[in-house]
Amino acid sequence: MRLSSIFKFRESEPETVKPFLDHLEDLRWVIVKMGISLALAMFLAFLFRAQLVHILQGPLNRVDPNLLKRLVSLGVADSMTISFQLAFYAGVVIAFPFLIYFAGEFILPALTPQEKKAMLPGVGIGFGLFLLGVILGYVFVLPSTLRFFFRDAQNLDWTPTWTVRDYFSFVTQLCVGFGIAFELPVIVLILVRLGILSVAMLRRTRAYAFVLVFVAAAFLAPTPDAVSMTLMGAPMYLLYEVCILVAGFMERKRKRDEALRSEA
């Protein structure tokens, strides 16, 4: 199979309606291509599992090198099961552009030209924000969170001894959770671009958005405690306020363009 056929968008004929079974066949191939791309990315990540483990242990080493030495493995097959877990999360990050592209192959033909213009830039911006969220979670939030729980355990006269399974589960969920949280501006701005939301509505629903953001943070945070929820919810709400500013700029620009077209 040639690469051109793999990355080819579905053809859409506005005057014809495709049978339901043809849509299912298209969906099947999209799922197959997404599965293959994720599997290849996981395989690539698994080949570099030692380097990946070393990178993810970096924040713990900065908190306390002795704590890194006390990481314990309680399962016989922990080295493999955790490696597969890390390969999956790393594979999602690596394959993210391909997953979005293949999903777009199925969705874009059904959209209007205006919706396509709103979606295509959103895919690129969304991937950039996802990576930004992962990086910020790893560089800034993860070390401070680990340090807080480490010192909190010491204040209770406990000796922090974490298992490798709990540690890597915490790290991957936090980093990927931040990546997903940073997709909020893309979703909101696309809805504004399509006219589903407005700046006035975003401002009126600030209180509701605040509650919903922290409810989402409770699900995305690796642990259900106030510290993790705050560290994830605060940036998400800040992004919501940024969305209001950007959406205001978009509305003003759209009104100027409409005024220029009416004058012409």
Question: Between residues 112 and 78, which one has the greater pLDDT?
Answer: 78
Q: What does the pLDDT look like over 189-221, one tens digit per residue?
A: 777 777 778 888 888 888 888 888 888 888 877
Residue 19: exposed, middle, or buried by beta-carbon count in 10 A (0-12, 13-18, 19+)? exposed
Short-list 86, 91, 247, 87, CA closest to 167: 86
- The pLDDT score that the predictor gives to residue 108 is 66
Distance CA 90, CA 74 (A): 24
Tell me the percentage of the chain whose pLDDT exceeds 70: 84
Split at pLDDT 50, 70, 90, the class of 80 is: very high
Residue 248: how many CA atoms within 13 Å on its side-chain side?
9
- The pLDDT score that the predictor gives to residue 117 is 67
CA separation (Å) from 178 to 42, 129, 172?
20, 10, 10
Asked which of 9-13, 82-86, 87-91, 241-245 is least confident by mean pLDDT, the reply is 9-13
Specify which residues 163 forms β-bridges with.
Answer: 72
Residue 149: how many CA atoms within 13 Å on its side-chain side?
18
Q: What does the pLDDT look like over 123-177, one tens digit per residue?
A: 778 888 888 889 988 998 888 888 888 888 889 998 888 899 999 999 998 898 8
Q: What does the pLDDT look like over 236-248, one tens digit per residue?
A: 888 888 888 888 8
User: Is the predicted pLDDT of residue 84 greater than 90, yes or no?
Assistant: yes
pTM, rounded to two decimals: 0.76
Both tokens assigned to 174 = 């936090």
Cβ atoms of 185 and 246 closer than 8 Å: yes
Split at pLDDT 50, 70, 90, the class of 99 is: confident
Q: What does the pLDDT look like over 1-50, one tens digit per residue?
A: 555 555 554 555 554 555 666 667 778 888 888 899 999 999 999 999 99
